[in-house]
Chains A and B, each alone.
Chain A
Amino acid sequence: MRPVVVSGVGMIPFERRDEDRLVDMLAMAGLRAMDDAGLGDHPIDAVYVGNMASGLFNHQVSVASALVDRLNLLPAAADRVENGPASGGSAIKNGFLAVASGFCDVVLVVGGEKMREVIGPRATDIVASMTHPQAEYIYGVTLPAMAGMFARLYMEKYGITRKHLALVSIKNQENGILNPYAHIQMKITMEGILTHPQAHINNPVVADPLHLYDCCPVSDGAAAVLLTSLEIAEVLKKPIVQIAGVGQATDTHTLQERADPTDLKAVTQASKKAFSMADLKPEDIDVAELHDAFTILEIAESEQAGFFPKGEGAKAVESGATRIGGELPINPSGGLKARGHPVGATGVAQVVELVWQLRGEAGERQVKDAANGFSLNFGGFGNNVLAFVLRRES
C-alpha cells in the first residue's frame, strides 16, 4: 500500500442548522477541505459520503450523487457509506483504501448528518433503529438506555462514580468553549450538575445511571477531509499528515450476547490493528479523539484502546491526565459531548481535529508539539468500531 496524506480538512460549526439542507452542509464542508488543501481545479477521482440516515431524517437518499452535482465534481465516482454512528469513520476508511491501492489519487470524504429536521423523540427512534429489531428495538430501547445498562455494570465492576462521569463532561465542555466549531459552548461545574441538592433540575436522569450531561447533544453538522497520494500532497505544500494506521472490528449486535458485556472487544481489536499498521504504541500518541457519545464511553474506550489499564481510565480523568496540557489530552475538540454528534459527521470531524492538532493549527486548544494522533469512532453500541492513527511527517 502507498502512503495516504490528509491534504485538506474542513468543517462547518456543529449546531442546530435550520437554514441549511443536508447537501448544502456537505457541500460547505467539502469545499472548505478542498480550499484548505489549495486543490484549485485539480480533479477529484472519488467522493465518499459518511451518512447514517438521510432517508429517515431528511427524506433524501443518494446524497453522494447530489453532492458531486452541487460542487460540480462531475464525473467523480460517488458513494454514500452507511455504518451507523461510525459512518464517518467507514467513509474515511473507504477513501483511504482507494488512495492506498492506487485506484485513486485524490478523494474527498465528507461526513454529515442533519438530525434536527425531526423532533427529539423521532430522532431518538431513528437512532434506536440500529438496535436488534426483535430482541431490542421493540422494548423501546434507546442508545442512552444501552449506555445506561453498560454504565451500571462498568461502574460497579471498576468502582466508577457519577463524579468520574461528571469530570469527563466538565473537561469536554471546557474544551468545547475553545472550539468555535463546537455545538455546546457552556462551562459547567461539579456543583451545578452533581453536588448541589438541586443539581438534578439542571441534570435530570435520561437513562439511569446516565444523566443529561452524560449524553452528547443532537446536532446538525458536516466535516470533510481531502485524501491524496504523497506525490500530490507534496505539490499542495500543506504539512504532511499521514493516515498511518486504520483498524476496524465488529462485535455481536446485542449487548447481551457478549460473554462480558463490559468488555468492548471491538474497540481493543480495532485499536490494535491501527497501532500495528502504524508501527506505533498507545504511549506514542500525543492527542486522542474518542467517541464520548456518553461520558462512560470515554473512560471505557481510553482503557480498551490501550492508553490506560482496565479500571484506570477514571483515575486518569481525576488526575487531569486527559486534559489539554495533561499526559494524554483526550477530546481537546470537546468530543461528542461538546462538539456535538451529527452521527455521520463524527468520524470525519475527529480526524479533522487531529489534523489541526498535528499541524499546530488548533488555536487555544492546541496540544503542544503533537506529532501522533489517534481517533476512535464507535458504531452501534460497540458492534462496529474504527480506529485511526495519524502521524505528522517531520
Chain B
Amino acid sequence: MKTITAYKCKQCEHVMYPKHLRCLRCRGREFEEIVPTKGGKLLTYTVVNELPWGIDERGRVLGIVEFDNGIRAMGLINADEIRVGMKLMAGWEPVRVIGGEKTYGLSFKPK
C-alpha cells in the first residue's frame, strides 16, 4: 500500500514528518526514510462543516494520528463513532482534487 514517507534522524533517532533538512531536535542532516506502521491512535480530531473551495461536502472528519512507530500525521477519519485515543488503521485514498488531478493521502478507519 502506498503511504507517506517520514524521516528518522541518523544522529538522534528523532522521527519527523513532514520533511526537514535539519533535525528538529539535534540539527543533524542525515535521515533514514521510514514508513508508518499500519496502526496508530487518534490524538485529536475535528468535524469540518465549512470546507474550502473544491471540496463539495460537509462533515469531513480530519484528525491527527500517532502511528505505533511514533510518526504523527494528519489524515481523513472514516468512522461512525469517534473518540480521542481510539485505535485506527491507515489507508491511502484520493483526498482532494487539485488542478483537476486527484491527490492521494492518508485515511483512517477503526481497527
How far is the CB of A256 from the nearest CB of chain B, in Å?
Answer: 4
Q: Which of A235-279 contact B (CB under 8 A)?
A: 252-257, 261
B48 touches A142 (CB 8 A): yes
How far is the CB of B79 from the nearest CB of chain A, in Å?
Answer: 14
B50 touches A138 (CB 8 A): no
Q: Residue B46 contacts which of A132, A138, A208, A256 (CB distance < 8 angstroms)? A: A208
Q: Residue A256 contacts which of B49, B52, B60, B74 (CB distance < 8 angstroms)? A: B74
A152 touches B44 (CB 8 A): yes
A207 touches B53 (CB 8 A): no
Give the one of A128, A139, A253, A255 with max B CB within 10 A: A139
B73 touches A135 (CB 8 A): yes
B contact residues around A139 at 8 Å (CB): 62, 74-76, 95-96, 105-106
- B24 interfacial contact with A, CB 8 Å: yes
Residue of A nearest to B52 (CB): A125
A142 touches B51 (CB 8 A): yes
| Interface of B (DSSP majority class) | strand
A contact residues around B16 at 8 Å (CB): 257
Interface pick from A106-114, A143-151, A308-316: A143-151
Number of cross-chain contacts by CB at 8 Å: 111
Q: A138-B96, A139-B105 are in contact. Are A121 and B44 (CB under 8 A)?
A: no
- A394 interfacial contact with B, CB 8 Å: no
How far is the CB of A213 from the nearest CB of chain B, in Å?
Answer: 14
B53 touches A124 (CB 8 A): yes
B contact residues around A253 at 8 Å (CB): 18
Q: Which of A176-215 contact B (CB under 8 A)?
A: 204-210
A121 touches B53 (CB 8 A): yes
Query: How far is B75's CA from A210's CA once the two chains are assembled, in angstroms?
Result: 19
B contact residues around A134 at 8 Å (CB): 18
How far is the CB of B72 from the nearest CB of chain A, in Å?
Answer: 4
A148 touches B103 (CB 8 A): no
- A280 interfacial contact with B, CB 8 Å: no
Cβ proximity bits A98-130 to B, threshold 8 Å, 1 near / 0 not: 000000000000000000000111101100100
How far is the CB of A118 from the nearest CB of chain B, in Å?
Answer: 9
Cβ proximity bits B71-111 to A, threshold 8 Å, 1 near / 0 not: 01111100000001000000000011010000101100000
Q: Which of A129-168 contact B (CB under 8 A)?
A: 132, 134-136, 138-142, 144-145, 148-150, 152-153, 156
Query: How far is B24's CA from A145's CA once the two chains are assembled, in angstroms?
Result: 25
Residue of A nearest to B64 (CB): A256
Query: How far is B74's CA from A145's CA once the two chains are assembled, in angstroms?
Result: 12
A contact residues around B84 at 8 Å (CB): 152-153, 156
Cβ proximity bits B50-71 to A, threshold 8 Å, 1 near / 0 not: 1111110000101110000000
Q: A138-B105, A149-B63 are in contact. Are A124 and B74 (CB under 8 A)?
A: no
- B47 interfacial contact with A, CB 8 Å: yes
Query: How far is B59's CA from A204's CA once the two chains are assembled, in angstroms?
Result: 12
Query: How far is B43's CA from A14's CA once the two chains are assembled, in angstroms?
Result: 37
Give the one of A134, A136, A140 with max B CB within 10 A: A140
Q: Residue A148 contacts which of B46, B52, B73, B106 (CB distance < 8 angstroms)? A: B46
How far is the CB of B22 from the nearest CB of chain A, in Å?
Answer: 12
A contact residues around B103 at 8 Å (CB): 138
Q: Residue B47 contacts which of A135, A153, A205, A254 (CB distance < 8 angstroms)? A: A205
Q: Residue A152 contacts which of B46, B51, B52 (CB distance < 8 angstroms)? A: B46
B contact residues around A252 at 8 Å (CB): 24
B contact residues around A209 at 8 Å (CB): 46
Query: How far is B103's CA from A205's CA once the two chains are assembled, in angstroms?
Result: 27
B contact residues around A138 at 8 Å (CB): 95-96, 98, 103, 105
A contact residues around B98 at 8 Å (CB): 138
Q: Footprint of A on B, CB under 8 Å?
A: 4, 16-18, 24, 43-55, 60, 62-64, 72-76, 84, 95-96, 98, 103, 105-106
6 tightest Cβ-Cβ pairs between the two chains A and B: A148-B46, A125-B52, A208-B47, A121-B53, A256-B72, A135-B18
Q: Footprint of B on A, CB under 8 Å?
A: 119-122, 124-125, 128, 132, 134-136, 138-142, 144-145, 148-150, 152-153, 156, 204-210, 252-257, 261
- Could you list 28 A-B pairs, sorted by A, with CB under 8 Å? A119-B53, A124-B51, A124-B53, A134-B18, A135-B4, A138-B98, A138-B105, A139-B74, A139-B95, A139-B105, A140-B55, A142-B48, A142-B51, A145-B48, A148-B46, A148-B47, A149-B44, A149-B64, A152-B45, A206-B48, A206-B49, A207-B46, A207-B48, A207-B50, A208-B48, A253-B18, A261-B43, A261-B44
